[in-house]
């Protein structure tokens, strides 16, 4: 990530030197947006919210290749030029964007870059992580004067050059991200209060197996006794499971 004013100015200059070609998976450019009037501010908030959601719905492996996984949206850059944008209060921006990304939505921040050609708003989205939820739009919007529209529950993804609605493949990838959280699933911790007189593999194995058996019996005791989704037939056919059924 850029550090200090000089770092951000260098990234702005990089974006303007390439223009639209700089729009890749981790960088998006937006032209001048107005945050003054109520109607203009709402439209601008939808534009940046859509971009934030797209950046947040990236796959960690590919995102980590650039800027440590962070995503950046520049507001106030149009192709090769800094066209500037209006200054907006940070608290107002956060409150308005939250309506579309949700209170528990993507983690993001913003800052202004004072460029010699105009003011640039930088939106910085945190790196996606394995186990992250799938971030969906939380509110609908439609602008009769433009084609800008978002639906409540719509999912956006960021691909090189644009942010777009998710395809079925995108959803499968995001589902994989969600289910790939580290340190998930059941865990059994074995503790032994006394000490071993000698280390014997068989004794340790027997101790661990007895603790696991006790834990399993306690968990299975709370399950319904009737068959459910074919579980009964599986247990009947497996002698190792029948001894847990009591």
Q: Residue 207 half-sphere exposure, CB side, CA atoms within 13 Å?
A: 14
| Tokens read off for 219 | 């968990």
Lowest mean pLDDT among 64-68, 157-161, 204-208: 204-208
Which domain covers residue 223, as residue numbers?
186-246
Would the pTM count as exceeding 0.85? Answer: no
Indicate the helix (H) or strand (E) that contains 66.
none
pLDDT in tens, 209-243: 787 787 777 777 766 665 544 444 444 444 444 44
3-state SS assignment for residue 46: helix
Residue 50 pLDDT class (50, 70, 90 cuts): very high
- The mean pLDDT of 170-177, rounded to a whole number, is 98
The answer for residues whose C-beta is within 8 angstroms of residue 224's C-beta and 6 or more apart is: none
Domain boundary among 129, 157, 179: 179
pLDDT higher than threshold 90 for residue 133: yes
| Amino acid 220: pLDDT | 72
Output Rg (C-alpha) for the chain, integer angstroms.
26
Tell me what percent of the residues of the chain surpass a pLDDT of 70: 80
Asked if 39 and 95 sit in the same domain, the reply is: yes
What pLDDT is recorded for position 230?
45
pLDDT at 181: 83
242: tokens are 């029948």
Mean pLDDT of the chain: 86
Residue 71 contacts residue 157 (beta carbons within 8 Å): no
Q: Is 8 found in the same domain as 46?
A: yes
Domain count, the chain: 2
Same domain, 148 and 164: yes
Task: Kindly give the residue spans of alpha helices, DSSP state H, lying in the chain.
Answer: 4-18, 38-56, 60-63, 90-101, 168-179, 201-221, 231-237, 239-242
- Comparing 160 with 188, which gets the higher pLDDT? 160
- Alpha-carbon gap, residue 200 to 227, rounded angstroms: 41
Backbone angles phi, psi at 243, to 5 degrees: -75, -15
């Amino acid at each position: 990530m850029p550090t200090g004013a000089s770092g951000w100015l260098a990234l702005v200059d990089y974006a303007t030197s390439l223009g639209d070609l700089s729009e890749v998976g981790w960088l998006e450019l937006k032209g001048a947006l107005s945050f003054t009037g109520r109607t203009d501010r709402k439209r601008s908030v939808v534009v940046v919210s859509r971009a934030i959601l797209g950046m947040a719905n990236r796959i960690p492996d590919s995102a980590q290749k650039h800027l440590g996984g962070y995503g950046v949206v520049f507001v106030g850059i149009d192709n090769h030029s800094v066209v500037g944008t209006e200054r907006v209060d940070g608290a107002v921006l956060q409150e308005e964007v939250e309506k579309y990304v949700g209170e528990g939505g993507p983690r993001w921040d913003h800052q202004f870059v004072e460029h010699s050609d105009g003011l640039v708003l930088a939106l910085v989205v945190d790196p996606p992580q394995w186990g992250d939820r799938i971030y969906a739009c939380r509110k609908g919007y439609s602008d009769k004067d433009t084609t800008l529209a978002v639906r409540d529950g719509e999912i956006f993804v960021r691909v090189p050059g644009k942010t777009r609605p998710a395809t079925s493949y995108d959803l499968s990838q995001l589902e994989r991200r969600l289910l790939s959280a580290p340190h998930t699933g059941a865990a059994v911790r074995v503790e032994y209060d006394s000490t071993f007189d000698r280390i014997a593999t068989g004794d340790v194995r027997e101790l661990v197996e007895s603790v696991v058996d006790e834990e399993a019996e306690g968990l299975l005791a709370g399950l319904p006794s009737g068959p459910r989704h074919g579980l009964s037939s599986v247990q009947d056919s497996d002698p190792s499971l029948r001894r847990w059924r009591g």
